[in-house]
């Protein structure tokens, strides 16, 4: 680049602009009216594992999307007809079920006569932006649901307390009732009502727990202590259901900063989730191990019917439940508590049994 006598700077426009275009992260190609590629940048060609010259002359819908006719979402033809710059979004789902989203922009290149011999197609991957947008919508929705749930729980609790009081009075009346048939009817009614009270109480408690934004009261804790505490808490239900719990935790302490009460709730929810999956009997295995980066892994596995891969991504969603009378909040609560501790939780899908893996930042003694 040099400066001439008339102060004009000689700038190698083509060379530098070519570098700019090839440096774009978006796919850029120029096509003629027959959809033949007359120009393609390095980014687009690289995704085909080809050099740009290997793509030139081929129809764009054949070489890029393997279609035998123009893509249904493409606006190139309309840009040729109207001369408008157009934008359209399209997407696809890969073999693993993961969605991807793209923004296609088409704009005309006019010649000296004002005709449009070519159209520029720019394709941008907007998958990440879409996912962030969906997360934002989900966050706002959950906030609104949380406000509603808190009000609902408050309103439901009062009549529940009144019902419980009246049921206690009814029980006393039953004890003095001389008629055997009368006693039997009262007993049947009280059992049904008590079951429904327990169910409503659990629903309101789940709603309150899900919407609660409490700060954690953490202490250095050996996770083995919390596992043992959760098993003891449910021992009666486990024995009644014929379920065996196997602990594979070793002798070495696995320390982490956790809120003991909140994290015990995580384990109780996972145990109950496994218990609900069994028709009769079964085995739950809990294991602890150390991972790279100083993290601690806690795994809860069962040998129940398993969770299909199609549902694996949904089990942590609020209000999603595979049980007819479930609230769909149990695993959402688990996920919230784990993530509040700086941890992660994942489900390993399988047709036989389910395995939930939790990782937490570990601490050294």
Q: Same domain, yes or no, for 150 and 244?
A: no
Residues of the domain holding 302: 219-361
- The label of the residue with tokens 């033949």 reads 36
Residue 242 lies in a domain: yes
Q: Are 210 and 149 in contact (CB under 8 A)?
A: yes
pLDDT(354) > 80: yes
Selection from 341, 168, 182 nearest residue 266 by Cα? 341
Q: Same domain, yes or no, for 352 and 224?
A: yes
| pLDDT of 213 | 55
| pLDDT of 209 | 61
* 170 against 14, higher pLDDT: 170
Residue 307 lies in a domain: yes
Q: Same domain, yes or no, for 226 and 329?
A: yes
| pLDDT of 222 | 92
Residue 1 lies in a domain: no
Encode burial over 207-225: b for 16+ CB neighbours within 10 A, e otherwise: bbbbbeeeeeeeeebbbbe
* Four-CA torsion 250, 246, 313, 267, nearest 10 degrees: -80
Q: Same domain, yes or no, for 351 and 272?
A: yes
Q: Same domain, yes or no, for 308 and 226?
A: yes
185 vs 174: CA distance, rounded Å: 10
Q: Same domain, yes or no, for 103 and 142?
A: no
Residue 250 lies in a domain: yes
Which residue among 141, 176, 211 closes a domain? 211
Residue 260: Cβ within 10 Å count: 14
| pLDDT of 324 | 46
Q: What is the pLDDT of residues 117-132, one digit of tens each?
A: 999 999 998 888 888 8
pLDDT, averaged across the chain: 80
301 vs 307: CA distance, rounded Å: 12
Q: Same domain, yes or no, for 102 and 154?
A: no
pLDDT(328) > 90: no
Residue 176 belongs to domain with CATH number: 1.10.287
Q: How much is the pTM? A: 0.47
Q: Which residues pair with 120 in a beta bridge?
A: 30, 107
Q: What is the pLDDT of residues 70-79, one digit of tens each?
A: 887 788 999 9
pLDDT(11) > 50: no
pLDDT(310) > 70: no
Residue 23 belongs to domain with CATH number: 3.30.450.20
317 vs 330: CA distance, rounded Å: 10
Split into its structural domains, the chain has a count of 3
Q: Same domain, yes or no, for 315 and 195?
A: no
Of the pLDDT bands very low, low, confident and very high (cuts 50, 70, 90), residue 286 is: very high
Ranges of H-type helices in 282-353 = 309-312, 330-340
Q: Same domain, yes or no, for 55 and 89?
A: yes
Of the pLDDT bands very low, low, confident and very high (cuts 50, 70, 90), residue 315 is: confident
Q: Are 205 and 238 in contact (CB under 8 A)?
A: no
Residue 346 lies in a domain: yes
Q: Same domain, yes or no, for 356 and 235?
A: yes
What single string gives the DSSP state of each residue in 198-267?
HHHHHHHHHHHHHH--PPP--EEEEHHHHHHHHHHHTHHHHHHHTEEEEEE--SS--EEEE-HHHHHHHH
| pLDDT of 115 | 92
- The label of the residue with tokens 């005309």 reads 108
Residue 7 lies in a domain: no
pLDDT(184) > 90: no
**What is the pLDDT averaged over residues 100-117?**
90
pLDDT(291) > 70: yes
**What is the pLDDT averaged over residues 30-55?**
90
Encode burial over 323-351: b for 16+ CB neighbours within 10 A, e otherwise: eeebbbbbbbbbbbbbebbebebebebbe
Which residue among 151, 185, 211 closes a domain? 211
Residue 301 lies in a domain: yes
Which token pair is 11?
């700038």
Which residue among 182, 211, 240 closes a domain? 211
Q: Same domain, yes or no, for 193 and 232?
A: no
Poorest-pLDDT segment among 50-59, 167-176, 282-291: 167-176
Selection from 202, 25, 219 nearest residue 123 by Cα? 25
Residue 354 lies in a domain: yes
| CA 167, chain centre distance (Å) | 42
Q: Are 255 and 284 in contact (CB under 8 A)?
A: no
Residue 256 belongs to domain with CATH number: 3.30.565.10
| pLDDT of 292 | 77
pLDDT(32) > 50: yes
Q: Same domain, yes or no, for 228 and 309?
A: yes
| pLDDT of 14 | 62
Selection from 222, 212, 224, 231 nearest residue 337 by Cα? 212
């Amino acid at each position: 680049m040099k400066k001439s006598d008339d102060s004009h700077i000689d700038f190698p426009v083509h060379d530098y602009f070519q570098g700019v275009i090839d440096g774009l992260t978006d796919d850029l190609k120029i096509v003629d009216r027959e959809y033949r590629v007359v120009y393609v940048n390095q980014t687009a060609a690289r995704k085909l594992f080809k050099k740009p010259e290997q793509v030139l002359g081929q129809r764009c819908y054949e070489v890029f999307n393997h279609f035998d006719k123009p893509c249904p979402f493409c606006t190139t033809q309309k840009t040729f007809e109207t001369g408008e710059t157009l934008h359209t979004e399209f997407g696809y789902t890969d073999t693993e079920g993961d969605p991807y989203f793209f923004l296609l922009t088409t704009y005309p290149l006019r010649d000296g006569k004002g005709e449009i011999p070519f159209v520029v197609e720019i394709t941008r991957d907007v998958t990440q932006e879409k996912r962030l947008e969906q997360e934002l919508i989900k966050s706002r929705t959950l906030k609104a649901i949380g406000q509603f749930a808190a009000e609902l729980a408050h309103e439901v609790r009062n009549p529940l307390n009144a019902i419980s009081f009246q049921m206690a009075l009814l029980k006393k009346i039953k004890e003095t009732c001389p008629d055997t048939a009368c006693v039997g009817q009262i007993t049947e009614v009280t059992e049904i009502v008590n079951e429904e009270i327990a169910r409503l109480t659990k629903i309101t408690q789940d709603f309150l727990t899900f919407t609660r934004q409490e700060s954690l009261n953490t202490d250095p804790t050996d996770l083995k202590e919390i596992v043992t505490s959760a098993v003891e808490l449910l021992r009666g239900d486990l024995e009644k259901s014929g379920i065996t719990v196997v602990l594979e935790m070793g002798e070495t302490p696995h320390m982490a900063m956790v809120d003991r009460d909140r994290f015990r709730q995580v384990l109780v929810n996972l145990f109950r989730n496994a218990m609900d999956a069994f028709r009769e009997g079964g085995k739950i295995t809990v294991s602890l191990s150390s991972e790279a980066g100083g993290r601690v892994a806690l795994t809860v596995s069962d040998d129940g019917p398993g969770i299909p891969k199609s549902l694996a991504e949904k089990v942590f969603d609020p209000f999603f439940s595979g049980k007819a009378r479930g609230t769909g909040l149990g695993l959402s609560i688990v996920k919230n508590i784990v993530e509040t501790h700086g941890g992660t939780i994942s489900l390993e899908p399988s047709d036989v049994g389910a395995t939930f893996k939790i990782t937490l930042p570990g601490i050294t003694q």
